Amino acid sequence: MSTTPTRDDIRAAIFGSEESKIQKRLVQFFGAQVEVRQPTLGQILAAQQNPDRQAAVIDQLVANTYIPGTETKVFEIEDADQFKEMPFGDNFIRVSEAFEDMSSVNFREGEGAPEEESNTPAHNEAGVGTETN
């Protein structure tokens, strides 16, 4: 006989799960290794509401790029104009792919919405074939 989990049991399982921890990836970015972190739900929602797509993408880069292994952010919002003047290519694509891999949001398309053909637990009820870190 199994017991029905309580509200507190469910909340503890959700908020204490490994899947609820922010994922991190090391990425080479213009010759430097940086740590990019998975955007939070709040950051994704804010990006979706921002009509300025360039600013939304740059905001994610500023908010989620750290010196590896630290809590020190690499960039400041004042760096936005410099980013806009940099060549777009493999470096930005690597960072974008890391964000996409961790969040199922297509940053390169600039849509700021989850991809339709996603294989994340939210889109795959059984969670089969999904990666968790």
> What is the Cα–Cα distance from 5 to 72, expressed in whole angstroms?
39
For residue 38, what pLDDT is reported? 95
Encode pLDDT of 17-49 as tens digits: 988 999 999 999 999 999 999 999 999 899 889
More confident residue, 85 or 127: 85
Separation in Å, CA 29 to CA 2, 4, 15, 61, 106: 51, 49, 32, 11, 19
For residue 85, what pLDDT is reported? 94
For residue 132, what pLDDT is reported? 38
Domains of the chain: 23-103 (3.30.2220.20)
> What is the Cα–Cα distance from 34 to 79, expressed in whole angstroms?
16
Instruction: Say which residue the tokens 């989850």 belong to.
Output: 114
Percentages of the chain per state (helix, strand, coil), in multiples of 5: 40, 15, 45
